[in-house]
């Protein structure tokens, strides 16, 4: 099954996702495809289900090896995630596979506490800081139909990506 990345302005990226009722083999297969796709994209640290055309409330992230991360928590699977607490503020440049031509400066909480289920139906709570906190907020935004373009700090904080021919 081909998994084309949905790109802005595809309408699925603007839709709120639906909670996952049961983490069955079909849902697990979707999660595995998302992890695989995230790992195959260079510099990709997260992926949300709407980006591959699914309206399930699922995201995956893994910032291992990213220069902005000192100590990564590794792979995090987020099924039905909820941000329970958010503190502080950081502004940073963000990009997205679904918005390949632009980056933008976005303000995010510096620290978030997120509760979710993993792919084995285990409920967990994780506190993330810095870059990983930003990634989690970016991915959870996707699940609420929001893109980083909706959150740039000002209209002049959107930048066309340089292309090298
Ligand atoms: Zn994105």
- Among 33, 17, 22, CA closest to 120: 22
User: What value does the mean pLDDT take over residues 96-110?
Assistant: 96
Q: pTM for the complete prediction?
A: 0.95
Q: In angstroms, what is the span from residue 3 Cα to ligand 1's centroid?
A: 15
User: For residue 152, what is the DSSP state?
Assistant: B
- Among 70, 113, 64, CA closest to 88: 113
Distance CA 126, CA 82 (A): 11
- SS3 per residue for 7-72: CCCCHHHHCCCECCCCCCHHHHHHHHHHHHHHHHCCCCCEEEHHHHCCCECEEEECCCCCCCCCCC
> Where in the sequence numbering do the catalytic residues fall?
139
Cβ 116 vs Cβ 102: under 8 Å: no
Q: Confidence band (pLDDT; 50, 70, 90) for 127?
A: very high
Q: In angstroms, what is the span from residue 133 Cα to ligand 1's centroid?
A: 14
User: What value does the mean pLDDT take over residues 92-100?
Assistant: 96
β 111-117/99-108 pair status: unpaired
- CATH fold of the domain at 11-160: Peptide Deformylase (3.90.45)
The pLDDT assigned to 162 comes to 80
The pLDDT assigned to 164 comes to 61
The pLDDT assigned to 17 comes to 98
Those residues whose beta carbon sits under 5 angstroms from the ion ligand 1 are 96
């Amino acid at each position: 099954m081909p998994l084309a990345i949905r790109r802005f302005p595809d309408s699925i990226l603007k839709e709120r996702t639906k909670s996952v009722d049961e983490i069955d083999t079909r849902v697990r297969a979707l999660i595995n495809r998302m992890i695989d796709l995230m790992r195959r994209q260079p510099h990709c640290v997260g992926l949300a289900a709407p980006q591959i055309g699914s309206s399930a409330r699922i995201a995956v992230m893994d910032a291992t090896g990213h220069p902005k991360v000192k100590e990564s928590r590794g792979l995090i699977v987020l099924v039905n995630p909820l941000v329970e607490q958010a503190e502080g503020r950081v502004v940073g440049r963000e990009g997205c596979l679904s918005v390949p031509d632009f980056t933008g400066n976005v303000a995010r909480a510096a620290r978030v506490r997120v509760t979710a289920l993993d792919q084995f139906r285990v409920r967990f709570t994780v506190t993330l800081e810095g870059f990983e906190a930003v990634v989690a907020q970016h991915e959870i935004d996707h699940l609420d139909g929001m893109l980083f373009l909706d959150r740039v700090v000002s209209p002049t904080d959107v930048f066309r990506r340089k292309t090298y021919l």
